[in-house]
Structure formats: C-alpha cells, structure tokens
Structure 1
Amino acid sequence: MITHQLKNRMKEFALTYLSDWGIVLIVGLILYGLMVGSVLPKNPNVKLHEIAPSDIQSPIDTVDTQATQEKRQEAIGSTPSAYAYNKNLGLIQVEKVGDLFDTIAAVKKDDKITSDSPQGAIDHAVSSIANRLADSADSKLSHSTLSALLTASDHNLQIAEDIASTSIYEAMSDKVGWNDLQRVQDKASAQLPSSVLNDRIRKALNEVLHAYITANYSFDANATKLNKQEAARNVDNVVIHQGEVIVKKGELVTNDMIRQLKLVGLLDEHFNIIPFIGLLLLIGFIMFIFWFEYYRFREKHPKYSVKFLYIYALMFTGAATLMKICSFLRLTNVSGISYLVPLAMATLIIRILLSERVAVVSGLLLALVGSILYGISAKAAIFDSNMAIYLLLSSLSGALVLRKRQARPKIIQTGGSIALVNVLVVLSLLMFQNTPFTLINTSLSLGFAAISGFIAVILTNGLMPLFETGFSILSPIRLIELSNPNHPLLRKILIEAPGTYHHSLMVANLAERACGVIGANGLLARVAAYYHDVGKTKRPRFFVENQMDGVNPHDKISPQLSRTIIISHPYDGADILRDYHMPKEIIDIAEQHHGTTLLKYFYVKAQEQSEKPIDESEFRYPGPKVQSKEAAVVELADSIEAAVRAMKNPNPVKVNNLVKSIFNDRLSDGQFDECDITLKELKSVEKSIDETLRGVYHSRIEYPKDLKMKKVNTK
C-alpha cells in the first residue's frame, strides 16, 4: 500500500513540476554524454616551415573569424554614406510660418495694436508673441521683424503671410542640402515682390524666409549605419568545412596553415572547447526537431501532451543508450556483430503509442545519433556511414511495417519483415564495399541483422505493457483487447442486460463508421460504445430494451423516481468502469454520452401529474456535455439508434426524418457547444448514420402467405 502511494506521489510530482523544457534539456544532456567521445580530436605532428608528412583534414565545420572579419571590414569601407530627403518638410515649414502669422494676428487683435500705438504697447505685444513662440525651433526672430509685422495693416499682414508661405513652399519643393541652404534662402529673398511690400515688411519677410527655409536633404547617420551593418551581415562567413584539406602532403607548412589548424582545434595542447560546442550545436538541432514534433502533438492533443513528452523522451534516450551499449560489441572483433542492435524496437513502440510520423522522424534522428556513436567505437573521424544507412532503414522499417489495426506485433510476421529489411540492407552494404565475400563473415553479418528484427519485436511486446500501465495509455492494441467479447464487463452486459448489449453493438457500428468519415478515432468510438451503457446493468429492467416480458416498472413509480433511475445510469457506468480500471477516454464517453439532455417522456408525465409548473432542469442529465468528437458521435448514434429501435414499422423515409429531428434537437439544445467538432463534421456524421440505418431498414419484398411451390414436371 505504501509503495503504491509513493509511486503515485512520484508520478504526480514528475507530471506536475518537471517542465517541458526541463525534459528536453535532460534528453539533450544524456545525448551529449553519450556522444561526447566523437569530439576528442587527435593532434597531428606538424611544425612551421617543415614539409607535411600527410594530408591534414579539418575534423569539424568552423568559421574562420579572422578572414570573415577582414571581408566584413572591406564591405563596410566600400558602403557609401546615405542621405535622406524629407519631401514633406516644406509643408511642415509652411504650417509653422502660418502659426507665426496667426500668433501675430491674435496678439495684434487682443492688444489692439496699430501703426499709431505707443512704443511701449508695441514692445509689450512683441514680448507676448516671443513668449508664445518660445517652444518653436524656428522662433528666433528679431524684435524689429516682429514689430514690423505687428504694426502692419491687416491687409499687408495677410499679403506677407501668403508671400512667405508661397516662397517657402517653392524654395523647399526640391532637394535642399546644407551646402545649398544659404543660396536657396537668398534666392527666395531676392524674389520678394517690391510692388506690394514696403521696405520694412520686405526686410521682416527676408528674416522670416531665412529662419523658416531649412535643409530637407541631409546626411542620415542612422541609415548609413544600418547600410554598413547590412553590408557586413551580407558577407558570408569564411568556413573551414569538415573534411577540407588544410595541409596537403608534401607542402611547406605556413603560418596561415598553422593558424587554421589551431582554429579547428588540431594543435591545441590544452583543453579546446570548440569541438564540444560543435557537438552542442548538433544536439541542439536534434532537440529542436524533437521539440517540434512534441509541439505539433501538443497542438492536436493538448490533454495528452505530458504523456507524449515522457514517452518520447524515454524511448529516445533509451534507444540512444541501447546503441551506445551495443557499439561496444565491436570490441569482441566478431564480424557483423554491430548489426545486432534492435533499433527498430524504438520506432515500433513510438509508432504504436504515439504516431507514424513521430516514429519516422525519430528513426531519422536516432540513425544520425547512432552513426556517431558507432563512429566513436570504430575510431572514425565523425561517423560510421555504413551504420548510418543500416540504422536508418532498420528503424524506418519498424515505423512503417505495423498496420493500424494490428494487435501486439507478431513475432514471426513483424519480426520477419524487419529482419528481411535488415538482411537486404546489410547485403547491399557488403556489395558496396567491393570486397571479397567470405562464407563465415557474410553469414555472421546477415545472421545478426536477421536476429535483430526478431529481438526488436520481442522487446516491443515486453515493454508495451509497462508503458500502457505506467502512463495509462489507450493504444490501438489496448482498444482491440478491450473489444474482445469475452471481456468480463462485456460478458456482464450480455448476461444481465442483453437488450442493452445488442443496442451497444449497433451504436458501435454507427459510431465507428461516422468517425471514419470525419477523421476521428473510429476504434475508440466503437469500443467506448460497447461500454457506454454498462451502468444499465445496475437496474437493467428499468430500461425498455431489457423488458422482455413487456412489464414496465416505471408504470408503478413516480416520474421523479424514474428520472433518478434513468439519469443515474451514465454515472453508475463511469463508476463501474473505474472499478475495472478502464481507460479514462472510455470512462469520459460513458459519462458524457447524454450530456445535459432532457428526459422528455418523464418530464411531460410529471407535468401532467403535477398541479404546479415543474422546472425543466430537474429532468435534465447533469452533464458534462461531450468534450470530444468521439463522444459527440457516440451520443448521436446512441440517441438515434434507440429512437429507431422504438419506431414502429421503420422505413428509410421515417428513419431519415427521425435522424434529422434528433440531430436538430441536439444541435439547438447546445449539446455540442463544449466540443471541438464543427457543423460540417456534424452534418457528415448525420449523413453517415442515416446511410448505415438505411442499410439496416431497407425495403424488403413481401411474400404472399398463400404462395405455394409448384412442382414442375420435367419429364
């Protein structure tokens, strides 16, 4: 008891507190520990200004930072400066000069300034204008200019504003640089019309034009900086590629060669972190694909994402560890013993528990990991190409060989298929090597490859129950086992409620076909339909399909009591299923298959017997409403099948009308509001159920009762 409680607490802690990224990090660290042996380089024996005794290749891909930086500096130096043209600045300046004249006009009006006003009043008005324009960058106008404009008549002030606005707009309609600014200002001043302006106002406008005409085409420091940065970014890194010959045999070793050898870590006398960073990047890529597949699954199945991650992590690290252990078999020097590794086991289990796509992607990643692990044991530079091909095709065979509806992988059938693929791959690899075949070595290699396939299936069958039990997984294999008619619960329904049993079989047929139409899990719907009414076994005779003698006990009890008995059966069924440790998905469908629907018959009966109005909610199932597509399909199939079964003289037309009626009733009652099923999918479910029932209740030929067989004399 204590052990069971401790196990449950540990499981709850792991599922609750370990974050997704924490699990991914742990998987990455395990892979790093397994693969770190591949980044321990061997330093070549070369010296400066001596002849190289052999070719020296780079063991990794790395960036030559010095050469790259030189190219980037060259690109930055050749990038021209950028200039910006603000074509709207002219309009902005026109608006600003308009604000100037509006301010002058307002002060003139408020202080009642005229040409005859005392100088003190004029000075006070000029100060008022200066204060109002204090926040403007172009407000540094002299006292005499403001005084001249202030004392001008309203007519002359308006003319001055129009001339200033026009002159500024025309002057700044083209590009005006800082070098050209003085020339443009002087030109605008020279073009002021003397016929309509007196000397004092013309002088004031001259200062206004010089203050408000400004450069609209200037050096753009930010754009220049961005252009130079972009030019630097566009320079490709100078990369020394893995396998690239840095020093050729017979060449004189130069300083640049020594620098490149140090850069790739071949001349480090002390600890060199670069190869370890390279491995970290590789594992980072692998873990990115790992996370991407988890993310895709989490979007489609948010309820099971935690289980997915734990299973995926366990299988991935377990398979990598298995390959690491099997790689040491090479120390035995037995020919072909490396092919004994049963990597197909991992993709088989992932295919069964998760999905085919995840299994294929995992096969690709594990083949990459395995090729490096076997490269370490073979003392190869990076990876073992032969093992890469073998592991890839062997793992893919495990991901693709299993059928959807297949129960536990059959040792002979599945193992034989994987073994055949392994043997063909090894045979082709032996031919590629173009080496003489020897009977013993060839036989051992092919034999180990064949045995690997059968070991993979045996391990899969042995580990599957552990995963299903430990993670409460409802796999296709588990569903097929639960659909066995000899299951104790199905036998219980058959014996104690035979009518319910046959009703459940019919619902299962309807639900599975409908789920197939909308892409839902038809097998889950079928199995859930078998068990959805197991709660009726508690009081079987209170349900019409089990009243074989025609006696209805509801005739002798109140509608309220009948309601209590009928409404309890989904929840009684859920309790029974829990007692039998059935999967949660099946329990949920059994509990939800009536949603919050109304018991119309007993509701109407109660209303007829009661003098007071009865609240409809008293005769509704408490729910919850269906939460999944499979539950929605089972609910529709259950209600429609029961209604058709109760119909007198059913025919295709009556069945079709009844199906539409029930469908519309459930839809208008909001029974699918909490489910992710679409209206289009519901219509497809309706059509599928109708077509299936038409096949059951099709028209039959009525034979006359008095039809007699006539004997034909053949003589």
Structure 2
Amino acid sequence: MMEVQAPPPSKLTLFLRAFTLILTVLAAFAALTLPLALRPVALPLAVGEVAPRDLDAPRAIEYISDVRTEEARQNAALTVPSIYTPADPSVAREQIHHLRVTLQYITTVRADEYADAIEQQSDLLALENITLNPEIIATILSSSDAQWETIQQESLSVLEQVMRNSIRQNDVASIQRNVPSRVSLALTETQANLVAALVRAFIVPNSLYSDDLTEASRNSAREAVEPIVQQYKAGERVVSGGQIITSANFEALEKLGLIQSKDEFPKTIGAGVLTLTLALFLWLYFNYRPSAHLRDLRSLVSAAILFLVFLVGARLALPNHLITPYFYPLPAFGLLIATLFGADTAFVLVFALSFLTTYGMTDSLELTSYYLLASLVSILVLGKARQTWSFLKAGLAVSLVGIAMLLAYWLPFTSADWIGIATLAAAAAFNGLSSASLTLLLQFFLAQILGIPTTLRLLEISRPDAPLLQYLLRTAPGTYQHSLQVANLAEQAAESIGADALLVRVGALFHDVGKAQNPLFFIENQVPGSINTHEDLAPEESAEIIIRHVNDGVTLGRKYRLPRRLIDFILEHHGTNITRYQYTQA
C-alpha cells in the first residue's frame, strides 16, 4: 500500500508518544510483579516451621501434587520385597565338591600310620573350610572305617538335600540349626552330631539378592502410581495454626500464593529486563517501520490500553490454573489490533504480549507457543476482514492451532490421559469462538469511538441503505450520481497504485455530502431549463455557498459518526483552489 509522506511530528507529539510508551512500560512491569502483592497475604514460611495462624484456601484450586505423588510412589516402592535370584545349582555342586575334598583329607589323616594322635588332631585343626572342636575330632578318629564311610555318605547326602533348596543369606543360620533333623535316624547321636558339624560348615547362600531385579520391580511399582490430584475448595483449611508445615502443605500453600519467597529481587530484575527488552524492540520496530495508524495520539493510547487490559487480565487470571490459560482469549487482542490498526502492528504487539503474559509461569514455553502461533495464524486468516465470516474463520484458526500446540507439547512430554487432553482441546476450541466473538463486538464499538475506518465499518456505511447515503440520494440525487462516478474512478486509481481501494471508494462516496444541505446551488442537482440560483446572487455570496458545502459535509459527517479519515476526504477534496467562475464574475 502506498502511503503519503506525513509531515514530521511536533516536539509535543514526540514527547506525548514517548510519555505514553514509558507509562505503558511501567504498567507492564507492574503487571508482571504486582499480582504477587495482590494475592492473599503471603508468609515467609518453610518446611518444618510452625504455621503462625490458620491458613485457608483463598479460592478453589485443583493441581497435580508432585509431593504427594512422590510420597505415594516411595511408599509403593517400599512395599516391594527384596528380590533374590533363583537357587544356583553351581553353588551346590561347588560346596559338595569342597565337602568331598575335606572328607578325603580327613580320611588321609585317619589313615596316616606314622602320625600319633596329637599330630592327627593338629592336622584336623588345620582344615581351612571347617573348624572342628575336640569332641568332634575325637569322634572322627575313633570311628571305624565302616562307620566313617557311612558318615561320609550321609554328610554328602544331607548337604545335597539342603543345597537343593533356595538359601538366602538371612536363612543360613536357621537352616544350619535344622541340619540334625535331616540326618538319618540310623546313625547314633554322636555320629549324627558329626554329620551335622561337617554339613553346617558348607551351607552357604545359593540365592543372592539382586539389586537390578529389585530396583526394576520398585520402579514398576512407582510408575504404576497415578499422579495425585489435590483439590481445595475456597475457604478450606490448608494448615492450622501451630501445625508443623510438611512438604505437602508447603506445596499447597505455594500453589495458592500463600508463600512469600525469601528473595523476590531476582524475579523483579528478570521482569524488568524482559519488559525493557520488549519495549526497545517495539521502539526500534516502529522507528524502522512507522505505522500510519498509530501516528494519532488517541489511537496510540487506545492500543496501549488494549495491550495493558489483556496483559493485566491474563496475569491475574492465569497463574496456578491448569485449564484457564487455554480458555483465555488472548488471540482476540491480535485480531482486534489487526482490524483497527493493521496486521503489521498486530504482529509485533502480539509477539510482545505473548512473552509478557506467560513470563514466570510453569508452562511458559508451551503457553507462549500456544498464544503466539494461534494469534499470528488467525491474523493471517483474518486478512482484510471484509465479512463476518472472516472473523469466524480466524476463530476457527485459533482453535485448530491451539489444539495442534496441545498435541505438540502434551502428548510427547506429559503423562496426561486422553480425557485431560480432550478437556484442554475443548478449552482451545472455546478460545477460538470467544476470541472471534470478542473481536467482532469490540471492533464495532472501538471503531466508532476512535473514528477508525475498519473494513466492516466502511462496508456498513457504504451500503445504499446507509442513513447518510439515503439522505444524500433523496435530497441531492445528482450529487449522489456524481459521487458514485467519482467513487468508481477513484477506486480504480487506488488499485492501480496500491492504495487502500475500499477507503478511497467510500471517501469518494461522501466527499460532496455537504451539497445535500443546499442541493439546488449545485448544477448536478438543478433541473434542466430551470433558473440558475447563482445568477441572482453576488459572486461573493455565491462563492461562499459553494465553499460552505465542505463545512456542511463535515457537520453531516460528525452527525452521522463517519470515521475521521472519511471526514478528511470531505475537508480536503477541493484543496486550496478558488471558485474560479465566481472569481471571474467578480
């Protein structure tokens, strides 16, 4: 679109613009920080401290409790018993082998003819795998070969029976105590005690504790625990006065905004840096690409107020809520700015608003993408907004992009069930509907209040049945036909140079509307053959009447609430030319 080079603004205008920007920056900074102070009175508490008074929920809240969920998962893991490996046959074979070697050594000592009793006892005491007391050693040495052979066989048999079963470390002692019950009753008590002594020494665990299996089982138990949703109704007691604050209490108090941070300074600095950075971005952008729509101070202030209304509303409504952010019609701001001030202005303001709105929130990245992409796509879909259907299409774009962002961020990175995702998708769909409806409603009122020629407003007032056009048609039909012809020509000229063809056409329709106040003084409204009223007037009076149609047109335009840019067409369509016919007559 070709724009006419505007005269440089005055120093006062520049000052007022800078002042408006400064006030907007300060208000935006306050919106990021003051909601902390506007919440219910917060206390600087910590886990383990005693609550100084009763703390009740200031509002209804529902959230996934990380603390309670973790406690439940830890309890579930603790209920999982330790897991041991199955009985290992190789351990049994190894122990039987050791016992057999020991028995062979004892047999060798018994058969040593050159060793006396003292040397034999010394050799038996030197055994590494078993410690024998003197009574057992005496039984070994005093047994006959047949008895010793029986003892050997019984020892190997009993050890094999014992080691066939699963033996854990904490079971070894009890199994060792029960060995005598496994010895054959055909042996004497002395022989049975010898067998028990030999077997006990070789009973070892064959089922070992498995860290991997136990941890895997406990992890499965943890994962089986669903996230715990904690609810508080407005006014419900969270912590009673004098009660020690637990981790779960502290989490609930934080969610409700009842915990005062020990140090708010870093948050304040962060909010200030973000606000100043975005303010610098907007300042540089509009210096590089000045917006004709925002040159007017009233439009600039209106855009700033809309920006702050949406920002403050979001900062007060969104924190500590799960579904509300997806309901909040932030895209309506972008659609409204695009309708009133153009898509380029809407793009950069939506960019700044999306970052400020979600700053410091838990899901800031997801919500920023949700708001920003939904707003940008809907602005593109809205286009020139020539029909009500354009707004409905933009609302549908908000819904579809919002649902796409939910699928992009919730499915891969959260454990939300399909019911939860469906609920959020319904919220996104409602967001699109509410954004389109809110935009359609507000643009109608704001366009009239600010005198902005929005597309729908131009289409509305250019209808043949529009009150002012009907007045022009009935009182000055010749001027009406003249205006239609000028409008057609001007529209074609505007299209050829890339100007706003609709604005030019409607402006041309109303440029001579002031002639309706004195229609017979203009030739296009005079009946052929009738007396020209100007012939009976002095040239000065005749010229005054002709020139007056400009002021009369401004009066009618204001009466019928024409946008200011259309009134400019009425004011400027004659430029500085003189009424040459009357000038010549004079």
TM bucket (normalised to shorter chain) is 0.5 to 0.7
2:349 maps to 1:353: no
Letter in 2 for 1:321: V
Residue 347 (structure 1) shift: 0.3
| Alignment map for 1:113-192 (pairs within 5 Å) | none
Letter in 2 for 1:584: R
Tell me, yes or no, if the aligned pair for 2:381 and 2:390 is still in contact at 8 Å.
no
Relative distance call for 1:363 and 1:567 in structure 2 (3 A) is closer
Aligned residue pair count: 355
Instruction: Tell me which residue corresponds to 1:445.
Output: 424
Instruction: Tell me which residue corresponds to 1:429.
Output: 409
Select which of 312, 318, 324 maps to 1:327: 318
Instruction: Tell me which residue corresponds to 1:259.
Output: none
2:292 maps to 1:301: yes
Select which of 30, 34, 39 maps to 2:31: 34
Relative distance call for 1:506 and 1:385 in structure 2 (3 A) is same
| Alignment map for 1:210-609 (pairs within 5 Å) | 273-295=265-287, 299=290, 301=292, 304-328=295-319, 330=321, 336-373=323-360, 375=361, 378=362, 384-408=364-388, 412-433=392-413, 435=415, 438-554=417-533, 556-558=535-537, 560=539, 561-604=541-584, 606=585
Relative distance call for 1:339 and 1:531 in structure 2 (3 A) is same
For residues 329-381 of structure 1, the C-alpha deviation after alignment (integer angstroms, 9 at most, x for no partner) is: 61xx6xx44311211111011111112112111222222123324x2xx3xxx
Letter in 2 for 1:31: A
Which protein is bigger by CA-based radius of gyration? 2
Residue 490 (structure 1) shift: 0.4
For residues 582-604 of structure 1, the C-alpha deviation after alignment (integer angstroms, 9 at most, x for no partner) is: 22222232122122324344444
Letter in 1 for 2:318: S
Aligned partners of 2:288, 2:45: CA distance in 1, in Å? 44
| Secondary structure class of the residue paired with 1:485 | coil
| Secondary structure class of the residue paired with 1:393 | helix
Relative distance call for 1:26 and 1:502 in structure 2 (3 A) is same
Tell me, yes or no, if the aligned pair for 1:574 and 1:591 is still in contact at 8 Å.
yes
Relative distance call for 1:348 and 1:329 in structure 2 (3 A) is farther
Residue 466 (structure 1) shift: 3.9
| Secondary structure class of the residue paired with 1:595 | coil
Answer 1 or 2: higher relative contact order, Cα 8 Å, separation at least 6: 2
| Secondary structure class of the residue paired with 2:574 | coil
Letter in 2 for 1:26: L
Aligned partners of 2:478, 2:320: CA distance in 1, in Å? 61
TM-score under structure 2 normalisation?
0.54
Moved more, 354-363 or 341-350: 354-363
Relative distance call for 1:16 and 1:599 in structure 2 (3 A) is closer
Moved more, 23-32 or 272-281: 272-281
Residue 503 (structure 1) shift: 1.0
| Secondary structure class of the residue paired with 1:401 | helix
Residue 43 (structure 1) shift: 13
Aligned partners of 1:551, 1:451: CA distance in 2, in Å? 65
Aligned partners of 1:365, 1:410: CA distance in 2, in Å? 25
Residue 23 (structure 1) shift: 2.5
Tell me, yes or no, if the aligned pair for 1:386 and 1:429 is still in contact at 8 Å.
yes
Aligned partners of 2:293, 2:452: CA distance in 1, in Å? 14
Select which of 4, 17, 32 maps to 1:20: 17
Aligned partners of 2:352, 2:534: CA distance in 1, in Å? 67
Relative distance call for 1:420 and 1:300 in structure 2 (3 A) is closer
For residues 427-465 of structure 1, the C-alpha deviation after alignment (integer angstroms, 9 at most, x for no partner) is: 222333264x63311210111111101111122123224
Aligned partners of 2:291, 2:24: CA distance in 1, in Å? 23
Instruction: Tell me which residue corresponds to 1:234.
Output: none
| Secondary structure class of the residue paired with 1:324 | helix
Letter in 2 for 1:499: G
Tell me, yes or no, if the aligned pair for 1:532 and 1:590 is still in contact at 8 Å.
yes
Relative distance call for 1:432 and 1:513 in structure 2 (3 A) is farther
Relative distance call for 1:274 and 1:405 in structure 2 (3 A) is closer
Residue 274 (structure 1) shift: 4.8
| Secondary structure class of the residue paired with 1:566 | helix
| Secondary structure class of the residue paired with 1:325 | helix
Letter in 2 for 1:429: Y
Relative distance call for 1:273 and 1:558 in structure 2 (3 A) is closer
Tell me, yes or no, if the aligned pair for 1:485 and 1:491 is still in contact at 8 Å.
yes
Relative distance call for 1:322 and 1:37 in structure 2 (3 A) is closer
Tell me, yes or no, if the aligned pair for 1:363 and 1:399 is still in contact at 8 Å.
no
Tell me, yes or no, if the aligned pair for 1:32 and 1:280 is still in contact at 8 Å.
yes
Relative distance call for 1:384 and 1:567 in structure 2 (3 A) is closer
Tell me, yes or no, if the aligned pair for 1:402 and 1:409 is still in contact at 8 Å.
no
Aligned partners of 1:601, 1:272: CA distance in 2, in Å? 77
Tell me, yes or no, if the aligned pair for 2:374 and 2:397 is still in contact at 8 Å.
no
Relative distance call for 1:391 and 1:492 in structure 2 (3 A) is same
Residue 285 (structure 1) shift: 0.3
Tell me, yes or no, if the aligned pair for 1:39 and 1:276 is still in contact at 8 Å.
no
Relative distance call for 1:603 and 1:19 in structure 2 (3 A) is closer
Letter in 1 for 2:381: V
| Secondary structure class of the residue paired with 1:19 | helix
Relative distance call for 1:274 and 1:338 in structure 2 (3 A) is closer
Instruction: Tell me which residue corresponds to 1:4.
Output: none
TM-score under structure 1 normalisation?
0.45
For residues 251-279 of structure 1, the C-alpha deviation after alignment (integer angstroms, 9 at most, x for no partner) is: xxxxxxxxxxxxxxxxxx97574553333
